[in-house]
Chains A and B, each alone.
Chain A
Amino acid sequence: MSRGKAWALRLAGIAVFVLGWEIAGRIFGDALFAPFSAVIAGFPATVRDYHLFAELAGSLRQLLLGYLLGCIVGIVLGIMMGRSALLDGLLQPWVSMMFVTSIASLVPLFIITFGFGLMFRVTIVFMAAVWYVLLVTYHGARSVSPDLLQTARAFESSRLQTFFKVMLPALYPYILVGMRIGLAHAIRAMVIAEMYVIVGFGGVVYNAGVEISTVSLLGALLTIMLVGVALNEALKWFAHRTAPWYSERQQLSN
């Protein structure tokens, strides 16, 4: 399939989706499912009434903090566990347990521990991102080719040199994939935490949800959808730019 035809199909798919939304919206009405046109027309009012962009920006700042902390801890622990059988064995049972723990189930507990503020939201986002980054990095670190490491040793490179010149470049695509998966989970966790305590962007969704009309609610959902897609595409683009030779690794993310 040519690139032009693929793009035409994608645009057609989006057009059909928007059209279907519009028709369904006209049938069900604003109270049940506002049509696309009404959501767009009402969007400026949604932004104004709910301070949508200000709340979103505040939420994203806290998201970034928890997410970056999660990435750093995940990458460091992932590499250590991947390269040391001792650490792997000592940490694996607890990491596996944390990995399956539902973020939502931690919310009531973390409110007790951290209150309703910054710490609570950052910790929830951290917990959502860290295990995914860790596991993907871990698998990457384990699969670094022994040939590469032996070659490095044959050339008498120091441990530090081997780490920065061989290990990190080999791990890089894995780290980026882990960060992308982690980001999706971080955004979900952010909304879970914020809707529970009704602050930030999640608070907007909650408050818009109790209105009679679904115009504001759908506007907020459309916004977070675009933000999620944009952040994911940005990371994908960055990965492609900085490590084009490994783009097939992206299959890992599905």
Chain B
Amino acid sequence: MRISLTRPLVLYPVSIVLGLGVWEALAQVMPRALFAPPSAVLGRLAAMTGDGSLPTALLGSVQHMLVGYLLAALLAIPVGIIVGRSTAIATAVEPILNAVYAIPPVALVPFFMIWFGLYFEGRVALVFAMCFFEILINVLQGVRNIDRGLLDAARSLDLTGLALYRKVVIPAASPFIFTGLRVGIGRAVNAMITAELFFSAVYLGQMLKTSSNAFDIASTFAVIFVVSLFGLACQEAMRLAERVVIPWHHESTA
């Protein structure tokens, strides 16, 4: 049997090595103040991890990201379920939701500064704003899309009140809820670094600012890389959580 050379298992490592090679070659011709080779980035990454500055900054960043994200999820899920259960309310709310969603969240920063100040509370507010609507829209869609037959069956079994939500509505909408939570946590990581750049500069955002101001491009690349990797890890963690909490959905789509 011939092994196909176009399988991801073969190609991905090739891709990474090739990409790094192109990057390294590009760095040879680009001025050092504008571009850094992967070897230098890796070196800075190791140094910044070794002296503890990078882990400390990441730990600081995670605080407002997690608080904002959890607040958004805790509010968006029940609101989405309640609004989604009523066709009338959902129809009435939809244009407003679309309109507010169209506002670029970063444009709210001056507004949040007035209300919450330049520090922790302001950053939490931005993270909240950037993932609340993302989660809400998905939960709403999940509840709106529940199979009518399922609800009719529940009604014929006299399932009402909280039991209806616990046994039918929430399980049926949960794939969408998890999609919202996964997309939302990606947005939360984006919001985390956005907040650190647009409010008073702290943690990873401050590292980005000081390193780029000093033309220390290798360090700038290293921080960008860490933020991307962290975002990826958070989304994969949510994917894993989805598989554990609602295994039936994964099996039906796999």
Find chain B residues with CB under 8 A from A94 CB.
15, 19
Given contacts A85-B6, A92-B15, A224-B102, 18 further A-B contacts (CB under 8 A): A6-B91, A13-B92, A13-B96, A14-B95, A32-B115, A92-B8, A100-B235, A102-B227, A104-B194, A104-B198, A108-B197, A112-B217, A112-B220, A196-B197, A196-B198, A208-B110, A209-B114, A221-B107
A210, closest chain B residue (CB): B110
- Footprint of B on A, CB under 8 Å? 1, 6, 9-10, 12-14, 16-17, 31-32, 85-86, 88-94, 96-97, 100-109, 111-113, 184, 187-188, 190-192, 195-196, 202, 205-206, 208-210, 214, 217-218, 220-221, 224-226, 228-229, 232, 254
- Footprint of A on B, CB under 8 Å? 5-8, 10-12, 14-16, 18-19, 33-35, 87-88, 91-96, 98-100, 102-111, 113-115, 137-138, 141, 186, 189-190, 193-194, 197-198, 208-209, 212-213, 215, 217, 220-221, 223-224, 227-228, 231-232, 235
CB-CB under 8 A for A112 and B212, given A102-B231, A196-B197, A208-B110: yes
Return A231 CB to nearest CB of chain B, in Å.
Answer: 9
A107 touches B228 (CB 8 A): no
Q: A193 vs B134: C-alpha distance in the bound complex, in angstroms?
A: 22
Return A9 CB to nearest CB of chain B, in Å.
Answer: 4
CB-CB under 8 A for A187 and B104, given A92-B8, A192-B194: yes
A13 touches B93 (CB 8 A): yes
Kindly name the residue among A113, A188, A196 whose own CB sees the greatest number of chain B CB atoms within 10 A.
A188
Find chain A residues with CB under 8 A from B108 CB.
221
Find chain A residues with CB under 8 A from B109 CB.
195, 209
Return A40 CB to nearest CB of chain B, in Å.
Answer: 16
Q: Which of B8, B194, B235 interacts with A89 by CB under 8 Å?
A: B8
B99 touches A13 (CB 8 A): no
A112 touches B34 (CB 8 A): yes
CB-CB under 8 A for A103 and B190, given A90-B11, A108-B208: yes
A209 touches B106 (CB 8 A): no
B107 touches A195 (CB 8 A): yes
Q: Which of B6, B102, B232 interacts with A100 by CB under 8 Å?
A: B232
Q: A23 vs B201: C-alpha distance in the bound complex, in angstroms?
A: 35
Some 20 contacts from A to B, beta carbons below 8 A apart, are: A9-B88, A9-B91, A9-B92, A14-B96, A16-B92, A88-B11, A90-B15, A93-B15, A94-B15, A100-B232, A101-B228, A102-B190, A104-B197, A192-B106, A202-B107, A209-B110, A209-B114, A218-B111, A225-B103, A226-B99
Find chain A residues with CB under 8 A from B111 CB.
209, 214, 217-218, 221
B88, closest chain A residue (CB): A9
A205 touches B110 (CB 8 A): yes
Q: A68 vs B212: C-alpha distance in the bound complex, in angstroms?
A: 29
B228 touches A100 (CB 8 A): yes
